[in-house]
Amino acid sequence: MRISLFITCYNDTLFPETGKSVVALLERLGHQVDFPLAQTCCGQMHYNTGYQEEAMPLMRRFVEIFKDAEVVCIPSSSCVAMIRDHYPKMAEATGDPALIRDTEALLPKVFELSELLVKKLGLEDVGAYYPHRVTYHASCHSLRSLHLGDTPLKLLRKVRGIDLVELENVDRCCGFGGTFAVKNMDVSAAMLSEKLKDIENTTAEVCTAVDNSCLMHIFGGLHRQRAGVKTVHLAEILAATEKSSR
């Protein structure tokens, strides 16, 4: 399958390892990955902060760049949520019939990474090897917008060598929330502190998720505390093999 990758603006800039892992994983599974260089950002931060007008041209760009794709893979549930939950209404608001049509046609082809693997490609065992104690943080958008449930866990359970341990209060927000983290930094810190307690209680050395945005916040807190626990995007665990770990 020819899979077009939307890496997302912050993964592109801050977490290139995640992108490289997605490419390695999908190619290992026999797919062809395409990365349209014109891509930038889905507009989520603007839209959710109240700058809906500023998000409009970004929505247009995304649809324009990816409308001819066979399948679009996005290693971020919150960006997929932005596209699924808000793009149709935004396109509608422009009154542009071609844009409305293109958006409608594009949406069913857009998948979050674990969703693509499990629901679209019917895979659970992707041949990964990751000999570490890992706990999985379910991001809010993965749960309540994409309704992924334990889809990412299905993949993790099949990883060889992994010691997967359940996180308490897995459905509770970590306190990131985009600009919430800076606009309400003290409440965000209180929420983070609860999440870090749950993570540390697992005695895992790695906390994973399908969103680097939550993980940036969680790792930021763990690192500030010198907790000795790191965060790793799901793609990086799934891309790891016995060969790569040697």
Partner 1 sequence: MTVRVGESANAPSFPKAALPLLDDAQLRKNVRHATDVIQHKRAIVVAEQKDWQQLRDAASAIKEHTLRHLDHYLLEFEAKCTAAGGQVHWAADADEANHIIIGLVQQYNSKEVIKIKTMTSDETRLNEALQEASIHPYETDLAELIIQLGHDKPSHIVVPALHKNRMQVREIFQQSMGLPNLGDKPEDLTAAARNYLREKFLRVKVGVSGANFLIAETGGVCIVESEGNGRMCLTLPDALITVAGIEKVIPAFRDLDTFLQLLPRSATGERMNPYNSIWTGVHPGDGPKHFHVVLLDNGRTNILADAEARQTLNCIRCGACLNTCPVYRQTGGHAYGSSYAGPIGAIFTPQVLGMEHGQSLPYASSLCGACYEVCPVKINIPEVLIHLRGRVVREKQSAANLEAIGMKAMAAIFKSARRFEAAQRLGRIGQWPVVSDGWVKHLPGLMGNWTAVRDLRAIPQQSFRDWWRTRKKESGQ
Report if residue 94 touches partner 1, rule: CB under 8 A: no
Residues 73-92 that bind partner 1 (CB under 8 A): 85
CA atoms within 13 A on the CB side of 38: 8
Residues 200-229 that bind partner 1 (CB under 8 A): 216-217, 219-221, 223-224
Instruction: Give the chain's count of helices (H) and strands (E).
Output: 14, 8
State both tokens at 142.
């993965």
Q: Which of 94, 104, 154, 178 binds partner 1 (CB under 8 A)?
A: 178
Least separation in angstroms between CB 124 and partner 1: 26
Contacts of 105 (CB under 8 A, 6+ apart): 67
* Segment contacting partner 1 by CB under 8 A, of 41-49, 99-107, 125-133, 155-163: 41-49
Residues 117-146 that bind partner 1 (CB under 8 A): 140-141, 143-145
CA atoms within 13 A on the CB side of 138: 21
d(CA 28, CA 32): 9
Q: Is 200 exposed, middle or buried (0-12, 13-18, 19+ CB in 10 A)?
A: middle
Type of residue numbered 168: E
State both tokens at 209.
């998720």
State both tokens at 203.
């005695």
Report if residue 179 touches partner 1, rule: CB under 8 A: yes
Q: Which of 1, 28, 29, 52 binds partner 1 (CB under 8 A)?
A: 52
Q: Which is nearer to partner 1, 154 or 172 (CB)?
A: 172
Q: Which residues here bind partner 1, judged by CB under 8 A?
A: 7, 9, 11-20, 23, 35, 37-41, 43, 45-52, 54-55, 57-58, 61, 85, 140-141, 143-145, 171-173, 175-192, 194, 216-217, 219-221, 223-224
